Amino acid sequence: MQEPTHILTGAIIQKSFEGSKHPKLALGLTAVIGFLSHGFLDKLANLTYHPSKPDFHSPVWIGYHSFVVVATVAFLVLWWRKFKWGIIFACLPDVDWVFVHGRELFNYLFHTQSHFYPRPYIHGFDGFIWEHIPLFSFVTPYLDHLPSLRRNPWACVFEFVLVALLLLVLKLITMGKRQPMQSGMAVTAVKPEHDKMRLF
């Protein structure tokens, strides 16, 4: 999946634990679930437009990835301060690509053959969990049988729909968390009136 999807997922996970009576446990669960969510979403990536190599000659590829970059920056501006913990762990495996593509660029620019960070290790660890750890490994065979639409430009619609649904979920969770707070403030505001009445 593309980065905006992972960012939104991390924000939703952290928001879900907001107001927990056990903040340290909430942070730990946010980190673990956020990290695991990356592997799950990447399994769904076969349903999205996700060519293995960039195609700078394709207007669709350029337009789609321009949208991804703009959405990534916008989502980070909107939610980084509030949900940075969830976002970090939901996006953590993609740090792999910084090193992998950085090595490729270094080799290209300086005509070297460096083998530093030869494969995406964090993705490998996340994938190992989904492939070999019970419970997770039960789901993986079904995800692996999804059709591959990676080269179909129309498949980008699936990711747009998913991003829209995640935005809706975040909005609904935010509204749900806000209502109890408003109710509590209303009760607090009414209490002094009752106290005054008791004085007479």
Q: Taking the chain, what is the end-to-end CA distance rounded to the nearest angstrom? A: 65
Side chain identity at residue 81, one-letter code:
R
What distance in Å separates the CA atoms of residue 170 and residue 174, rounded to the nearest whole number?
6
Residue 55: which domain range? 3-199
Number of domains observed in the structure of the chain:
1
Mean pLDDT over each residue of the chain, to the nearest integer: 89
pLDDT band at 184; cut points 50, 70, 90: low
Q: What are the tens digits of pLDDT across the range 123-148?
A: 999 999 999 999 899 999 999 999 99
What distance in Å separates the CA atoms of residue 126 and residue 40, rounded to the nearest whole number?
9
Q: What are the tens digits of pLDDT across the range 70-122?
A: 999 999 999 999 999 999 999 999 999 999 999 999 998 999 999 999 999 99
- Please check the confidence at residue 35 and state whether its pLDDT lies above 50: yes
Q: What is the DSSP letter of 111?
A: T
Rounded mean pLDDT of 53-69? 92
Q: What confidence score (pLDDT) does residue 178 get?
A: 73
Q: How many CB atoms lie within 10 A of CB 158?
A: 17
What distance in Å separates the CA atoms of residue 48 and residue 148, rounded to the nearest whole number?
8
Q: 155 or 198, which is more confident?
A: 155
- Please check whether residue 98 is in contact with residue 91, taking contact to mean a CB–CB distance below 8 angstroms: no
Paired tokens of 20: 């927990």
Name the maximum alpha-carbon separation found in the chain.
Answer: 89
What distance in Å separates the CA atoms of residue 55 and residue 62, rounded to the nearest whole number?
8
What distance in Å separates the CA atoms of residue 41 and residue 146, rounded to the nearest whole number?
12
